[in-house]
Chain A
Amino acid sequence: MASQNQVRSTGSGGAQSDPRAIISFHHVDLQYDDQKALADVTFAVANGEFVCLTGPSGAGKSSILRLIAMDAFPTKGQVIVRGMPASRMNRGRIPLLRREIGFVFQDFRLLEDRSVEDNVAFAQLVVGQPHRLIVQNVTRVLTQVGLYDKRHRLPRQLSGGEQQRVAIARAMVNSPKILLADEPTGNLDPATAQEIIDLLFRVNDAGTCVFFSTHDHEIVKTFGQRVLVIEGGRLRSDERRRAVDRRASLVDHMYRAPEGAAAPAARPARREPAHA
């Protein structure tokens, strides 16, 4: 088993001291009762980055997301999100931090008895936006995810991919700085997963840092721009790729590209991440 010393880190290192980091973990341990979930995890993510977090089930991916959302707090080490250290975080301020983080989950987590429009508007209502702005913002994000025409439908009247797009619209309506996506393609077929990943790239293009957690190696191989690999609660590697082919098709990759065939021609790298 590889040790922590073997971690190849080409990402934004020096987590605690890097002023450009929007998320930084510095030698973080997390213990749940008698079980250690994370051990000595250190990494930093710059503003506007698209990061894939991968590893097998139970490796600690969700624990990292919980720490970023401050739904859990490190047993040891330091987690800093948007300049707010978890160790000095007042519980009353957590909701304010959450307003700067969007969440997307594998199971969508939509309110089944409310329309698409109301699901998205709910995120704005909760943070106290005036009605006029709610209408404007909901219209904008639903148009961006291509669901404005279906705004009056209930979630059960939509396909899985459409429901995930509603979830992304809800996550984006408050213009968060970070989008945490926990296995967002887990319940989707490859073609729909591709649509969702494209949408997440568009969100990232608009300047939002996307933290994409998945155990799907194909997605990581095809789209991972920066890949954090976690196993057994330890960060095994932190690799940044120079170029990611945004035209690559997940469907092609999974079903059509024969083993060992030449990869599609790479496009120039996306713009460099902006710093916080």
Chain B
Amino acid sequence: MLNQSQLRYLAAESLAGFRRRKLTTGVTILIMASALLVLAALTLVTLNLGTVLESARGGLDLRVYLRDDVPAEELAALHPRLLAIPGVDQVTWIDSEAALVEFRRQLGDDAPLLELLDRNPLPSSYHVTFTAGARDPESVRAIRDEVAQWTEVSEILFNQDWVNALERWTYRFQMASLVVGLLVFIAAIFVISNTVKLTIASSARVIQVQKLVGATNAFIRTPFLCEGMIHGLLAGILAMTLLMACGRLLGASLGGMVFFSAAQTAGFVAFCVLLGLLGSWAAMRKYLALRSDI
């Protein structure tokens, strides 16, 4: 257990690197903040893509078009059958007349063209929506395949293509983010590790004396680990501040982009502190293992 004098000493030593090597420390924090800014921006875009994808999945639905020659009571009997399928949320009947009215509305100025037709060409249909758990292309495709086999059904429309494309691009972006994130992670550890090595080199005599008089490795290591953590903390705060400033500047053009919540921001900064800790640990471990005292 550390006493008050030791705590005071460790606190002073943790900040000593900032006092003794202002420029090196400043540059380290800037480099690290830049790398973390890239990481934070990628994370933010990934988060937003996830939201967009979720919203797109919410729009997944089926239009089940029915054959003209099936009696109305048989068509009505399809309603409970559709509702009985697991994953189906709502089933809405759209008769051919209502479909024509809607089509006419969509045509707008071209609607008079429909007067050329001698009969309503649009079939009656069911509009099927899904529960949250079933809103993924695989589940919807399975339901579509099942319903397509019913004799009363003539055709099914499924807006899967663009959802599939969105999913593909989201996946690719997430993979790219992961790779970039990993590189940033390694780079940040490397940058911090090298800065702490400079501090260690300039404190070689102090470390040597500490070991000679019986300081434990934990006691020797603590100020350096704290210094790395402070680097990570400051770099993380700087990166978040820059990202927020960019968000403010580009606010209008980013539309409904979602920013990090307070908990996510705190989590990101905590991650940066962890990076700092790992960087200094890597530097110290090697140094304490190699160093001879006498």
**A182 CB within 8 Å of chain B:** yes
Closest to B20 in A: A113
**A66 CB within 8 Å of chain B:** yes
Nearest CB in chain A: distance from B173 CB, A: 47
Nearest CB in chain A: distance from B292 CB, A: 6
**Among the interface residues B4, B209, B214, B293, which one has the most CB atoms of the partner chain A within 10 A?**
B214
Cα(A275)–Cα(B47), bound, Å:
73
What residues of chain B lie closer than 8 Å to A96, measured between beta carbons? 214
Cα(A99)–Cα(B219), bound, Å:
14
**B205 CB within 8 Å of chain A:** yes
Cα(A92)–Cα(B220), bound, Å:
13
**A128 CB within 8 Å of chain B:** yes
What residues of chain B lie closer than 8 Å to A182, measured between beta carbons? 294
Among A92-107, those with CB < 8 Å from B are: 92, 95-99, 103
Stretch from A22-30, A34-42, A118-126, A216-224 that touches the partner = A118-126
Cα(A208)–Cα(B212), bound, Å:
17
What residues of chain A lie closer than 8 Å to B2, measured between beta carbons? 128
Please tell me if the beta carbons of B293 and A123 are within 8 angstroms of each other in the complex: no
Please tell me if the beta carbons of A109 and B214 are within 8 angstroms of each other in the complex: no
Choice from B6, B208, B212, B293 contacting A128 with Cβ under 8 Å: B6
**B15 CB within 8 Å of chain A:** no
> What 1/0 flags go to B207-231 for Cβ under 8 Å of A?
0111111111101000000000000
Cα(A70)–Cα(B214), bound, Å:
12
What residues of chain B lie closer than 8 Å to A99, measured between beta carbons? 213-214
Nearest CB in chain B: distance from A237 CB, A: 24
* 13 A-B residue pairings within 8 Å (CB atoms): A66-B292, A66-B294, A69-B294, A95-B211, A95-B216, A103-B294, A109-B205, A111-B205, A125-B6, A126-B215, A127-B214, A129-B5, A174-B213
Choice from A71, A92, A127 contacting B215 with Cβ under 8 Å: A127
Q: A125-B6, A125-B9, A134-B5 are in contact. Are A65 and B212 (CB under 8 A)?
A: no
> What 1/0 flags go to B282-294 for Cβ under 8 Å of A?
0000000000111
Please tell me if the beta carbons of A126 and B4 are within 8 angstroms of each other in the complex: no
Cα(A65)–Cα(B292), bound, Å:
12
Interface of B is mostly: helix
**B3 CB within 8 Å of chain A:** yes
What residues of chain B lie closer than 8 Å to A103, measured between beta carbons? 212, 294
Nearest CB in chain A: distance from B168 CB, A: 53
What residues of chain A lie closer than 8 Å to B3, measured between beta carbons? 128-131
**B157 CB within 8 Å of chain A:** no
Q: A92-B216, A126-B219 are in contact. Are A98 and B211 (CB under 8 A)?
A: yes
Cα(A71)–Cα(B212), bound, Å:
10
Nearest 6 A-B pairs (CB), nearest first?
A99-B214, A98-B214, A123-B213, A126-B215, A95-B214, A95-B216
Closest to B1 in A: A128
**B206 CB within 8 Å of chain A:** yes
Q: Which residues of B contact A (CB under 8 A)?
A: 1-6, 9, 205-206, 208-217, 219, 292-294
Please tell me if the beta carbons of B210 and A126 are within 8 angstroms of each other in the complex: yes
What residues of chain B lie closer than 8 Å to A111, measured between beta carbons? 205-206, 209
Please tell me if the beta carbons of A130 and B213 are within 8 angstroms of each other in the complex: no
**A170 CB within 8 Å of chain B:** yes
**Among the interface residues A109, A111, A122, A128, which one has the most CB atoms of the partner chain B within 10 A?**
A128
Cα(A69)–Cα(B206), bound, Å:
18
Please tell me if the beta carbons of B213 and A122 are within 8 angstroms of each other in the complex: yes
Nearest CB in chain A: distance from B4 CB, A: 7
Cα(A125)–Cα(B209), bound, Å:
12
* A-B contact sample (7 more), CB < 8 A, given A95-B216, A109-B212: A69-B294, A92-B216, A103-B212, A103-B294, A122-B213, A127-B213, A131-B4
Closest to A99 in B: B214
Among A182-215, those with CB < 8 Å from B are: 182
What residues of chain A lie closer than 8 Å to B210, measured between beta carbons? 122, 126
Please tell me if the beta carbons of B5 and A130 are within 8 angstroms of each other in the complex: yes
Please tell me if the beta carbons of B213 and A98 are within 8 angstroms of each other in the complex: yes
Cα(A127)–Cα(B213), bound, Å:
8
What residues of chain B lie closer than 8 Å to A65, measured between beta carbons? 294
Cα(A122)–Cα(B206), bound, Å:
10
What residues of chain A lie closer than 8 Å to B9, measured between beta carbons? 125
Q: A96-B214, A126-B215, A130-B3 are in contact. Are A71 and B208 (CB under 8 A)?
A: no
Cα(A128)–Cα(B103), bound, Å:
85
Nearest CB in chain B: distance from A89 CB, A: 14
**A12 CB within 8 Å of chain B:** no
Closest to A91 in B: B217
> What 1/0 flags go to A246-261 for Cβ under 8 Å of B?
0000000000000000
What residues of chain A lie closer than 8 Å to B214, measured between beta carbons? 95-99, 126-127, 174
What residues of chain B lie closer than 8 Å to A66, measured between beta carbons? 292, 294
Cα(A99)–Cα(B1), bound, Å:
17
Closest to A126 in B: B215
Among A56-98, those with CB < 8 Å from B are: 62, 65-66, 69, 71-72, 92, 95-98
Please tell me if the beta carbons of B209 and A71 are within 8 angstroms of each other in the complex: no
Cα(A127)–Cα(B9), bound, Å:
12
Cα(A103)–Cα(B208), bound, Å:
11
